[in-house]
Amino acid sequence: MSILKVTKPNIPAGETIVSTSWVMAENGDWNNLFFSSMNDKVNLLSIKVDKPINPKTIYKAMVKIVHTGGVTLWSDVDTLVVLDNKLIDSSLHTPSLINKPKLTTGYDLNNHPITGFTVKLSDYEVYGESVLKSASWLIEDKNGDVVMFIPETEENLTEIVIKDKLRPNEIYTIRAAFKGSNNDVSDFGALTIYTSMDSNLQLLTNLNGKAAGDAIELVIVEVDNMTKVEWQLVKDGNNVWTGVSTSTTTIIPATVIEENSEYVLIGRLVINGKEQEYNYYRFSTTDKTVIYLDGPLPFPIGTQGTQG
């Protein structure tokens, strides 16, 4: 079942509608009408179509109005609303219904990273010729306050890297919506995450753009009562370097960083002799990206590799 509507009838000012003719066709076949109501004097600006909709068929609807000053030409209806929630595509000015996106991050939603993670969208589906044009993104805290909003971006259609730093030990809802080339907009999909506790280790070094043969200086924010900081660098599941420092600066030797390789950097603070939580960073000499990771250690620090 569906509803056809005319919100802005094309009639001269001061004239009134006498009757309206409605037609609806499958795949634009006007010789075999799916529905019609001619010279209707009751349903002047909208009409209900009590026929089941085929979700994989393209429908078009047109309208002609008789008014006190004459008659209009046949034109597209302004709106075609599907009441039984079937997916259809209609003609020029009648938008397609777009699925709301499904959001994923690939992390534990109950112990989620606070920054540097990627949100991905899936399930874009629309019947007809409409294609994905843009996406809107926002993040709300538990009070409903918006902490990030990116409207109708064409650069981040199906994924986005969250560079803003969320607060640790908080609840956030990430939302996103699709917009099609016919200007129809989906409902917002939502994903609720619970951010992990702050590990106190804050890496100041930007790992973006590191190249093979680069020595990497790891610099962290100074923390009171720090005993030491422990580092581990993993490539292909193997520990290629381990470092321990009592200062805020540690050097990864240039000989460790190879071309076209992916690495996981693992760091942990020891404060007053007490080991803190691990922080994980992934960087690549191929795609020049860095992502905060959350997950188990491949093996304990210090069991493989060389001392830096």
pLDDT in tens, 13-68: 888 899 999 988 887 777 888 889 999 998 888 888 878 777 667 778 888 899 98
Comparing CA positions, the residue from 61, 69, 65, 92 lying closest to residue 10 is 65
* Residue 127 confidence (pLDDT): 57
Domain ranges of the chain: 2-82, 102-194, 216-293
Backbone angles phi, psi at 50, to 5 degrees: -90, 60
Class at the top of the CATH hierarchy for domain 2-82: mainly beta
Residue 251: pLDDT over 90: yes
The Cα 264–Cα 219 span in angstroms is 16
- Check if 2-82 and 216-293 are the same fold: yes
C-beta separation of 116 from 162 below 8 A: yes
The Cα 261–Cα 234 span in angstroms is 11
Comparing CA positions, the residue from 302, 119, 297, 279 lying closest to residue 207 is 279
* 296-299: Cβ within 8 A, 24+ apart: 297/232, 297/266, 298/234, 298/237, 298/239, 298/264, 299/239
The Cα 210–Cα 228 span in angstroms is 25
CATH for 102-194?
2.60.40.10
More confident residue, 285 or 216: 216
Class at the top of the CATH hierarchy for domain 216-293: mainly beta
pTM: 0.41
| pLDDT (mean) for 216-237 | 87
pLDDT band at residue 245 under the 50/70/90 scheme: very high
